[in-house]
Amino acid sequence: MFLPYGRQSIDESDIEAVAQVLRGDWLTTGPAVEKFERELGSVAGQSNPAVTVTSGTAALHVAYAAAGIGPGDEVVTTPLTFLATATCAAIQGATVVFADVSDDTGNLDPAAAAAAVTDRTRVISGVDYAGHPIDAPALRRVADDAGALLLEDAAHSIGGSLDGTPVGSLADITTFSFFPTKNLTTAEGGAVVSADTELLQRARTFKGIGMVRDPERLRSTDEGAWWYEMPELGLNYRLPDVLCALGSNQLTRLGRFKARRAEITARYSAGLADLDGVRLPAQRPGADPVWHFYPLRVLDGRRREVFDALRAAEIGVQVNYIPVHWQPWFADRGYRRGMCPVAEEYYEQEISLPMFPDLRDSDVDRVIEQVRTALGG
Ligand SMILES: *Cc1c(COP(=O)(O)O)cnc(C)c1O
């Protein structure tokens, strides 16, 4: 049987939570949204509620829009990420500047980010690759020196922490994704959290088509109860009650999901530790990751061979990620291979092994055995 590389954990209580909303009065923009937003804020260590949106991509778009970036501005980010971390800045008209990653974690390297900063840098965007938090204190210094915001794409890492500070309170603005393979799911969904109330208000306005009804924000106030205004442009990125109810119920199991992901990671590492020709994922002191996938590095140019052998054995491995600056859209704009050699070498070695809470120990053992067989050890 084919073993997927990631999948959701849905139980009867999730189904019941969704059914309850369907039987009620609000399908969208009702009490389940407010509840999920308060709970997410609290998981992120924020007193502000989160701003929920329809995907992790929407969360990034909303975050860049709230940061007010546009043509002439630069966003420094990592190429070892999903497209949206970079493209949502580009779609706002900003210039994306790729900086290299640290060789151990695959996260944005603060020294490389510092070297990429110019007087046009407005945002520095790190990604918690595979669930391991970014080096936020060092990136914070780079961002502060540049007069830029620090954004953390935490699509992989909700529930993690660094030196006791939860992911969601490490950067100026943090985005989450609730796609089925992520650490918790709302089918499609995402959120933005921040301690900056004004930034969050701009995010909320953007995801609601730029419309405001709050009397304090209106220019004309005596037109009548139907009145709304559009001070800013926006889009409809509202996450409905149906999906927020699923998210709230999933959140009650986030701790268990995280613990099981840690067990699976430890089992992979124990089973592969003595194998030559591979590198296992690093964990820095003070980092408390939520392992979103297991990034195994296969050395000596053997990645393709091991990947194909695992797929042939019905094991759903992935590669995370093709360096974003290699994509045709960026290549057409002058971005070149070789610009970020550490990230590019990381990509050339990487295979993501299956990781999801319902994965059984026997499945993990089968993956380990197949990796060992493929490498002849
Ligand atoms: C999944 C992911 C996104 C986008 O989230 P979607 O919900 O799929 O739109 C953004 N960044 C990273 C690092 C991701 O893994």
Per-residue pLDDT tens listing for the chain (377 residues): 899 999 999 999 999 999 999 999 999 999 999 999 999 999 999 999 999 999 999 999 999 999 999 999 999 999 999 999 999 999 999 999 999 999 999 999 999 999 999 999 999 999 999 999 999 999 999 999 999 999 999 999 999 999 999 999 999 999 999 999 999 999 999 999 999 999 999 999 999 999 999 999 999 988 899 999 999 999 999 999 999 999 999 999 999 999 999 999 999 999 999 999 999 999 999 999 999 999 999 999 999 999 999 999 999 999 999 999 999 999 999 999 999 999 999 999 999 999 999 999 999 999 999 999 999 87
- What is the best residue among 177, 181, 185, 239 to mutate for testing ligand 1's pocket, by most ligand atoms within 8 Å of CB? 177
Determine the topology of domain 12-251 in CATH.
Aspartate Aminotransferase; domain 2 (3.40.640)
Which numbered atom of ligand 1 lies nearest the CA of 129? Answer: 13
Report residue 80 as tokens: 């070892």
3 state SS of 221: coil
| pLDDT value, residue 264 | 98
pTM here is 0.98
Can you tell me which residue has the tokens 């308060």?
38
Which numbered atom of ligand 1 lies nearest the CA of 182? Answer: 1
Contact 279, 323 (CB under 8 A): no
Contact 238, 30 (CB under 8 A): no
- What is the best residue among 5, 152, 153, 188 to mutate for testing ligand 1's pocket, by most ligand atoms within 8 Å of CB? 153
Report residue 326 as tokens: 């290699």
CATH 3.90.1150.10 fits 254-374, yes or no: yes
What is the distance between the alpha carbons of residues 259 and 253, in angstroms, rounded to a whole number? 10
- What is the best residue among 8, 82, 324 to mutate for testing ligand 1's pocket, by most ligand atoms within 8 Å of CB? 82
CA 56 – ligand 1 centroid, Å: 5
| pLDDT value, residue 88 | 98
What is the distance between the alpha carbons of residues 121 and 91, in angstroms, rounded to a whole number? 16
CA 84 – ligand 1 centroid, Å: 7
Residues with Cβ < 8 Å from 158, sequence gap 6 or more? 43, 44, 167, 168, 176, 182, 183, 184, 254, 290
Q: What is the amino acid identity at position 201?
A: Q
Quote the DSSP letter at residue 3.
B
Residues with Cβ < 8 Å from 376, sequence gap 6 or more? none
Q: Is the CB of 156 under 6 A from ligand 1?
A: yes
Q: What is the amino acid identity at position 353?
A: L
Q: Helices (DSSP H) in the chain: which residue ranges?
A: 12-22, 31-43, 56-67, 84-90, 110-116, 136-146, 197-207, 241-251, 254-272, 303-312, 328-331, 341-349, 361-374
Q: Is 182 a catalytic residue?
A: yes
CA 363 – ligand 1 centroid, Å: 26
Quote the DSSP letter at residue 307.
H
Is 219 exposed, middle or buried (CB count within 10 Å of its CB: 0-12, 13-18, 19+)?
A: exposed
- Domain positions in the chain are 12-251, 254-374
| pLDDT value, residue 377 | 72
Q: Is the CB of 61 under 6 A from ligand 1?
A: no
- Give the HSE-up count for residue 259: Cα atoms under 13 Å, Cβ half-sphere: 4
Which numbered atom of ligand 1 lies nearest the CA of 189? Answer: 7
Catalytic annotation, pick one of 35, 182, 207, 258: 182
Q: Is the CB of 78 under 6 A from ligand 1?
A: no
3 state SS of 77: strand
Residues with Cβ < 8 Å from 26, sequence gap 6 or more? 32, 241
Q: Is the CB of 193 under 6 A from ligand 1?
A: no
φ, ψ of residue 95 to 5 degrees: the values are: -95, 130
Q: Is the CB of 320 under 6 A from ligand 1?
A: no
Residues with Cβ < 8 Å from 199, sequence gap 6 or more? 66, 67, 172, 173
